[in-house]
Structure 1
């Protein structure tokens, strides 16, 4: 018999507490905020076991990715400020129809503020460098991390020197997280480069060499991950008028390279492309010389004709600064961007800018930004 005390229902010892089917419990849990799930781990050993299960982690991530209207993202920004060292700020990004809301998000994880470079995120994990010659996979929400050595390569470097690029993503075919490091060396003639590629497998806990490729200069230090594929913007003769740009891709499952054509753009002058991803969709921003940028989204992945222009942005500053996409509202009316070294929310309805980063006053030398969804994903396999 159920009794009531001061409006609260409870069950007598003789009665059995009713339980819901496991599938229904999971359907409820995946809809709850991560902070609530972290607290629920303390309820009992069975709840701790359920919320620690990798299959539940995957279900939670898949639900978040497939229900963007119910999913908030987190933005972490590490700024190097003259005279102040590194400062970390963390924000929650919420989106409802045409509006984007960005609010402070508690205390930043210490590992982010000490990082040398942010290399991307996937399924709630952030990949970053440490102060030593190491890489780290970190879940900022649980505080769990996995450290492993960076990759090195021995190569006879010519007069042109070399540079390297990173990428981080998830290979669903093998349930494995991978870090890609590209060593790029200039070739003589037409601004081409030869690229040697190493891939780290979290499951194998080792680096391996894969077939390299030739390309123009690969811009952007970090690849953009979407649809199981890493993307870098490549440019042939990118410092002269009439340069040709395209997206260089690497499929993490097949380890095969590909190319995606960028949207059409206006002729004349030097342009610079920047790439991003917003709620699983690839975003490209064409920066013109005259303080203006066009932002596009690929609505159907891999279909070049599905590139759709979201907005044209005129920079509010007197000199040209590069605009990079961070997050796009559902209908594209508001976009969160990096405007030079500042995090800014642009409203296309009234062409207004709202600076969001509230760093201590000082000269920004460098700002790194990564967005991620909050999850229980473990950095260990």
Structure 2
């Protein structure tokens, strides 16, 4: 009787639904799972796309997010709090199918030996991207999954994506999209706001694949590789090659995925042309995004050598495409750039300098004018006006002291998006 009474009271409440939605959209996801048991009305509200949208908008506005990173081969999650300089670590439980036995690993290495020129494949967990609170992870060549880390921490909270058919995976001498490494695979994960569905792109040195998260879709489709004509004329009768940063997965903003590419030549190296490769999630077409003119035109002299700025990292900062650049003539700082108006080259703006050996900032806290900055010393809130770094520490999961945080820490905004309904 008590349960029926609670349901009746909840459903007959005089509180306007708009106010109820606003209150619930500001609460932790963990609490919302308990509230779903209160009444059918609240359950239907919180499972609606409308509520997911409102909840995500509040998370983006208030920097309500967590950090996903790897320590000693395992994934961890920590809720981000600007005021708390000691953050608690929680394990991110991976799917059982990702936990390969030695025999399974040996068989996969044998299967992939032709792909990797006879070299062994290390089956390791990697975070390939995050969008709207969902995180894409993969292991080796055969395991890809999607999860919402804010949901219950159990094996069943991962949506396993189909395997990619790599048949015919080999170096194509005719394509001009390659990498310095003999083999590589990078992903891009984003949401197409026009067709209202999530899409995953996988790039190799010879093929590109696209997967659309739709009901009963079990197939990746092969798509055309990007192919851009070289604009370099300083080297005559010499093939120019575009290199994608193999270690950097794509970042998403403005309905496009992005990768940093370099027009590379053995003789000019650092003087090569920088640009950004972009994939339109709706039109499913490749385009280029121009970088600041300074990166391709401006040169300085040092000890008789011409030195040009170049991109060392890129990402998305508070919804805008951002770059971290460095010039060899500057021994102390990197420069942070942001594209204030997407697709408009002239809108690239230099924001500030950050210390060397730093990665792209993850978050900008407007109230304190601080950037959450990963670097070789860990992770901290950086105040550029005074060149001051407030170091963030972690505890839990057996870690009680400082530890090295990779510059590829992934930021995940809290959301109520269910991967199994996508």
Q: For residues 76-95 of structure 1, what are the structure 2 equivalents within 5 Å?
A: 76-80=68-72, 86=74, 88-94=76-82
Q: C-alpha separation between the residues in 1 aligned to 2:12 and 2:403?
A: 61
Q: Does 1:327 align with 2:327?
A: no
Q: Paired residue for 1:197? A: 208
Q: Paired residue for 2:304? A: none
Q: Paired residue for 1:285? A: 324
Runs ≥4 in structure 1, deviation > 6 angstroms? Answer: 112-115, 360-363
Question: How many residues are aligned here?
Answer: 343
Distance 1:148 1:241, change over 3 A: closer
Q: Paired residue for 2:385? A: 349
Q: What secondary structure sits across from 2:271 in the alignment?
A: coil
Q: C-alpha separation between the residues in 2 aligned to 1:101 and 1:227?
A: 31
Q: For residues 116-155 of structure 1, what are the structure 2 equivalents within 5 Å?
A: 116-130=125-139, 133-143=142-152, 144-153=157-166, 154-155=168-169
Distance 1:357 1:119, change over 3 A: farther
Q: C-alpha separation between the residues in 1 aligned to 2:260 and 2:311?
A: 9
Q: Paired residue for 2:47? A: 52
Q: C-alpha separation between the residues in 1 aligned to 2:265 and 2:26?
A: 46
> RMSD of aligned C-alpha atoms?
3.3
Q: Does 1:110 align with 2:93?
A: yes
8 Å Cα contact 1:284-1:325 kept in structure 2? no
Q: CA deviation at 1:106?
A: 5.5
8 Å Cα contact 1:168-1:180 kept in structure 2? yes
Equivalent of 2:315 in 271, 276, 280: 276
**Deviation sequence 1:75-123 (CA, Å, 0-9, x none):** 122123xxxx5463523144xxxxx765524623223998710011111
**Deviation sequence 1:334-381 (CA, Å, 0-9, x none):** 212222473233221211223325456798596741101111101122
Q: Paired residue for 2:349? A: 308
For structure 2, the residue ranges without an aligned partner over 5 or more in a row are: 1-5, 100-123, 174-179, 229-241, 300-306
Q: What secondary structure sits across from 1:47 in the alignment?
A: helix
Q: CA deviation at 1:38?
A: 2.8
Q: What secondary structure sits across from 2:248 in the alignment?
A: strand
Larger mean CA deviation between 172-181 and 347-356 belongs to 347-356
For structure 1, the residue ranges without an aligned partner over 5 or more in a row are: 1-10, 95-99, 186-195, 316-320
Larger mean CA deviation between 22-31 and 358-367 belongs to 358-367
Q: C-alpha separation between the residues in 2 aligned to 1:217 and 1:345?
A: 32
Larger mean CA deviation between 322-331 and 344-353 belongs to 322-331
Q: Does 1:224 align with 2:245?
A: no
Q: CA deviation at 1:182?
A: 0.6
Q: Paired residue for 1:255? A: 284
Q: For residues 157-168 of structure 1, what are the structure 2 equivalents within 5 Å?
A: 157=171, 161-168=182-189
Q: CA deviation at 1:33?
A: 3.5
Q: C-alpha separation between the residues in 2 aligned to 1:180 and 1:147?
A: 16
Q: Does 1:41 align with 2:36?
A: yes
Q: CA deviation at 1:181?
A: 0.3
Q: What secondary structure sits across from 1:111 in the alignment?
A: coil
Q: Paired residue for 1:175? A: 196
Distance 1:246 1:79, change over 3 A: same
Q: What secondary structure sits across from 1:325 in the alignment?
A: coil
Distance 1:120 1:300, change over 3 A: same
Q: CA deviation at 1:73?
A: 1.7
8 Å Cα contact 2:257-2:281 kept in structure 1? yes
**Deviation sequence 1:230-267 (CA, Å, 0-9, x none):** 01111111771311101110011110111111123452
Q: C-alpha separation between the residues in 1 aligned to 2:141 and 2:184?
A: 19
Equivalent of 2:64 in 65, 69, 72: 72
Q: C-alpha separation between the residues in 1 aligned to 2:390 and 2:219?
A: 44
8 Å Cα contact 2:369-2:383 kept in structure 1? yes
Q: CA deviation at 1:175?
A: 1.8
Q: Paired residue for 1:193? A: none
Q: What secondary structure sits across from 2:45 in the alignment?
A: helix
Q: Paired residue for 1:8? A: none
